[in-house]
Amino acid sequence: MNPVYQQARFIGSATKLSNAPVDQGLEIAFAGRSNAGKSSAINTLTGQSSLARISKTPGRTQLLNFFEIDSERKFVDLPGYGYAKVPVAVKKQWQQMMETYLQERKALCGIVLVMDVRHPLTDFDWQMIRWCEHAGLPLHILLTKADKLKFGAAKNTLLKVQRELSQVSIVITLQLFSSLKRTGIDDIHQILDQWFQFEG
């Protein structure tokens, strides 16, 4: 692991783009359905157990959460989408905030889309994939909770998802990942290093 990720620190939350940190440097955003393991993935990637809050109630991340890696680079945890038992008006507000961020944030250099390997390619996932395609943004898919399946079954899901994504016009990388077993960490760090333009 590039030691710089271990220095990650939470620098603030925003309910809208106007409250966000200055739009400069490079940002990688993490998106995913509530319950897909997004916060756990961010914690595992930074080697910190409680950097991103893990909630027992899915959909608790209702804000844009910013984490500074160094003075030029940030992670952004986007609102989880899906399970949250919240009023439709609130869901619309989240969606609007996400769309504004994705369309207007100049620092954004790539999206990590987190999917539970047991429930990949939900409608929300496709929405994000199509948006990245439209914006020409690099996309890396983390199939999380790979420890919940036998290796053969997890690998089959990976290949199936890969086949379904062949219709998409942008390059999409994907991998199996487990925060619990700490598998797949090196693979995603390689991608993050490339996007963040760390010299390898």
Domains in the chain, please, with CATH? Answer: 3-195 (3.40.50.300)
pLDDT tens readout for residues 96-147: 888 889 889 999 999 999 999 999 999 889 989 998 998 889 999 999 999 9
Average pLDDT over residues 77-81: 83
Provide the 3-class DSSP secondary structure of residue 94: helix
Share of the chain above pLDDT 90, in %: 66
152's tokens: 């053969």
- β-pairing, 73-77 vs 64-70, is antiparallel
The answer, as to whether pTM is greater than 0.75, is yes
- Residue 79 is predicted with a pLDDT of 82
Residues 77, 46: Cα–Cα separation, whole Å: 13
Q: Which residues pair with 73 in a beta bridge?
A: 26, 70
With vertex at residue 21, the alpha carbon angle to CA 105 and CA 187, rounded to the nearest 5 degrees, is: 65
Residues 57, 47: Cα–Cα separation, whole Å: 23
Residues 186, 35: Cα–Cα separation, whole Å: 23
